[in-house]
Chain A
Amino acid sequence: MTLAITSPGDARRRPRTGSISRDRRWALRWSFFFLGVFAIFFLTPPVYMLITSLKTSAEISAATDPWWVHHPTLGNYIELLGSSQYLTFFRNSALVSIIVVTITMLIAVPAAFALSRMRFWGSASLATGVFLIYLVPETLLFIPLFKMFAVFRDFTGIQLINHWWVLVLLYPTLTVPFCTWIMIGYFASIPKELDEAALTDGANYRQILLKVFIPVALPGLIAATIFAFTVSWAQFLYPLAFTTSADQLVLPVGIFTTLVKGDVFNWGQIMTGALLGAAPPLIIYAFLMDYYIAGLTAGATKG
């Protein structure tokens, strides 16, 4: 296997005459072969989701060939898209994600601008702190937050737990540190002459941010937005801990708790729901792949 990885480089770089092109062609074939094997491994679950989603419950329980659809049907899709419960999950997910993305950008962009351009007391340690906060996993915070919100209710009478909008409070803790961190990087790469020129022309900081920095750092902004959206769309622990009523759930938890119940699993519908739920991030990824990857590699995302 290792031979196959490096042999094309081998052939390319060793100053040898004769069989170079034949060696390269073989190395390329091996590369394609192994890439094919890995692609099968990586794509099996989503493909299997699609296969199952096209089957009727009868066909699933008939225990025939699970990898082939004998009587394809869109019944699961029609049923799910007609069910008000599923549409509620979808709506909750969409609302939470859009609001979280907005809040994240409103907090992260000015903060990143200030931290990258306007030195003030403690700005360097705050930038490092933002990065460290990003490393704090949500699994460390959900229990104290749960208790905090219960205490908050006892004091003020405002019930936060079991409302979908409580997630709007929680998700920024996951998205803001990373978005601030990568925006600091993008802003820092903008040449100083640009904002000095704007300052000399009499622009204030708000104008510099809105008319110089945001347009120039737009690719970074898109990458950060995509990150914030995918994180809030995929988050599972917080909604599982903080929401329980069926009409307050977001997609991942909604599918998990309402469709997977008891001993009777309606797998056709679960797979359809999961596939439709995975669709928005997948569509964004398909159209904005370069920004998506730029965001991934910019600050070493969670993995």
Chain B
Amino acid sequence: MVDAVVESSQLSAVGRRRRRGGIRRALQRRSSIAFFMTLPLILMIALLVIYPALYAVHLATLNKSMEHFVGLGNFAFLFKRETFWMVVRQSCIFAVTAVIAKALIGFVVAHFVHNVPSKGQRKWRGMLLVPWVIPPALSCLAWLWLFDPSYSAFNWILAQFDIDPVPWTGNAYWARFSVILVNVWIGAPFFMIMYLAALKSVPEQLYEAAAIDGANWRQRMWYVTLPMMRNIIAITALFSLIVTFANFDIVRILTAGGPIDRTHVFATWSFWLGIQGNDIPLGAAVSLVMVPILTVAAVFILRDINRRGNEVS
């Protein structure tokens, strides 16, 4: 409270001084004004992101009742458990497969939309982005109902062709497939929009030059389109990799990790252990295992974004 009063009086003092001193004084003072303008942001990041992240490291070194220090005991315990390695494998399969599928579908659909006369593009784009707009938790409920064991609408269609019902969420392999399918459904429109924007930014002259040189469509794709889109493809895929890897909603709603933990990913398993199982240190340890993988992706994104910035300027 007192701080706030001091700050505001400082600010107004700064303002008064500036009016007297003109532009030069203002430039001298502006670093302190700038600092106060970013203060709420810095405080929020420090208190609600950085501190909890460090606190997670601390929590992960405690025993279940959080009374004494066990060092890396939680990690040692995890590394010995079969389920942990299963979760690692499943998270990787889930993220990698889903991102590749989303990127491919996004790429193909972006080309189709790009081919359509520009009058109709808006309409198609609007329709195809709908899965991205619906809150994932709510669209997952619709998928859950489409996958329902006894009333599945998909199985009804299959039954019309005399195909046996598919256990969409009942069997380990089908459940993994379903979870990935829903993730692709939600994420592919985002890729489509990004790639469409990238496609539109490729200068038409490049294609004309390539055509004059006698390039066929495969060569144009390989030597013009892909190099021009390279950065956007990389950034979008890495972003998606982070978010898909840390995904929670889809698995929690569709399978809750079942059958017998066969679809658990890091996020759902740490929720299961930490919040539902009341073993906060172990849950924190599980979620921390994600950090190295996320860091690698983040480093690459940062590199690509900086490179894109340099290209523009």
B267 on interface, CB distance cutoff 8 Å: yes
Q: Knowing A13-B207, A41-B185, A118-B30 touch, does A140 contact B197 (C-beta < 8 A)?
A: no
CB–CB A278/B134 < 8 A? yes
CB of B138 within 8 Å of the partner chain: yes
Residue among A5, A132, A296 facing the most chain B CB atoms (10 A cut-off): A5
Contact B248 A236 (CB under 8 A): yes
Are the C-beta atoms of B31 and A141 separated by less than 8 Å?
Answer: no
A235 to B183, CA, bound (A): 16
The 6 closest A-B pairs by CB, nearest first: A137-B246, A234-B135, A118-B34, A252-B137, A120-B31, A303-B190
- Given A35-B113, A237-B248, A282-B133, A120:B302 Cβ within 8 A: no
- Contact at B139–A39, with CB atoms within 8 Å? no
Question: A289 — which chain B residues lie within 8 A by C-beta?
Answer: 122, 126, 129
User: Would A173 and B153 count as touching, CB distance under 8 A?
Assistant: no
* Cα distance A114–B38 in the bound complex, in angstroms: 7
CA distance A34 to B31 in the complex (A): 55
Task: Tell me, in angstroms, the Cα distance from A43 to B139 when the chains sit together.
Answer: 11
Residue of B nearest to A169 (CB): B48
Partner of A144, one of B53, B102, B210, B249: B53
Instruction: Give min CB distance, B302 to chain A, whole Å.
Output: 7
Out of A46, A63, A139, which one reaches B287, CB within 8 Å? A139
Which single residue of chain A is at the shortest CB-CB distance from B265? A139
A77 surroundings in chain B (CB, below 8 A): none
**Chain A residue with Cβ nearest B122:** A289
- A234 partner, pick from B115, B136, B197, B220, beta carbons under 8 A: B136
1/0 per residue, CB under 8 A from B, across A244-261: the answer is 000000011101100010
One of A80-88, A215-223, A267-275 contacting the partner: A267-275
Stretch at the interface among B69-77, B82-90, B141-149, B161-169: B141-149
Q: Answer whether residue A165 sits at the interface, using C-beta atoms and an 8 A cutoff.
A: no
**How distant is B186 from chain A, measured CB to nearest CB, in Å?**
8
Are the CB atoms of B40 and A135 closer together than 8 Å? Answer: no
CA distance A249 to B103 in the complex (A): 35
Is A73 on the interface with B (CB-CB < 8 A)? no
CA distance A200 to B26 in the complex (A): 11
Does B178 make an interface contact (CB < 8 A)? no
A144 touches B31 (CB 8 A): no
Residue B180 interfacial (CB < 8 Å): no
Scan residues 107-140 of chain B and give those whose CB is less than 8 A from a CB of chain A.
108-109, 111-113, 115-117, 122, 124-139
Partner of B194, one of A128, A241, A277, A300: A300
Q: Is B266 positioned at the interface, with any CB of A under 8 Å from its CB?
A: yes
Closest B residue, CB atoms, query A147: B280
Determine if B302 and A132 form an interchain contact, defined as CB atoms under 8 angstroms apart: yes
Bound complex: CA of A109 vs CA of B235, how far in Å?
A: 25
Q: List 19 A-B contacts (CB under 8 A).
A: A5-B115, A6-B220, A42-B130, A42-B188, A42-B189, A45-B146, A48-B142, A110-B40, A111-B38, A113-B37, A120-B31, A121-B31, A136-B294, A139-B270, A200-B23, A237-B249, A251-B135, A260-B141, A277-B135
- Asked if B55 is at the interface (CB within 8 A of a chain A CB), the reply is yes
| Alpha-carbon gap, A61 to B148, bound state (A) | 12
Are A144 and B207 interface neighbours, CB within 8 A? Answer: no
Q: Which of A31, A241, A278 contacts B115 (CB 8 A)?
A: A31
Complex contact A38–B142 (CB within 8 A):
no
**A176 close to chain B: CB less than 8 A:** yes
Known: A120-B30, A137-B243, A139-B287. 9 other contacts (CB 8 A): A31-B112, A45-B142, A106-B40, A114-B35, A130-B45, A173-B48, A271-B141, A278-B133, A303-B243
Residue pair B287, A140 in contact (C-beta under 8 Å):
yes
Asked if A6 and B156 make an inter-chain contact with CB atoms under 8 angstroms apart, the answer reads: no
The residues in B between 23 and 49 inclusive whose CB is less than 8 angstroms from any CB of A are 23, 26, 30-35, 37-38, 40-42, 44-45, 48-49
A66 beta carbon closer than 8 Å to chain B? yes
Are B129 and A293 in touch, CB under 8 angstroms? yes
What CA separation (Å) do A209 and B139 show in the bound complex?
40
Per-residue CB proximity of A58-100 to B under 8 Å, as 1/0? 0011010111000000000000000000000000000000000
Which B residues lie within 8 Å of A21 (CB)?
A: none
Bitwise, A195-227 to B at CB < 8 A (1) or not (0) is 000011010110000000000000000000000
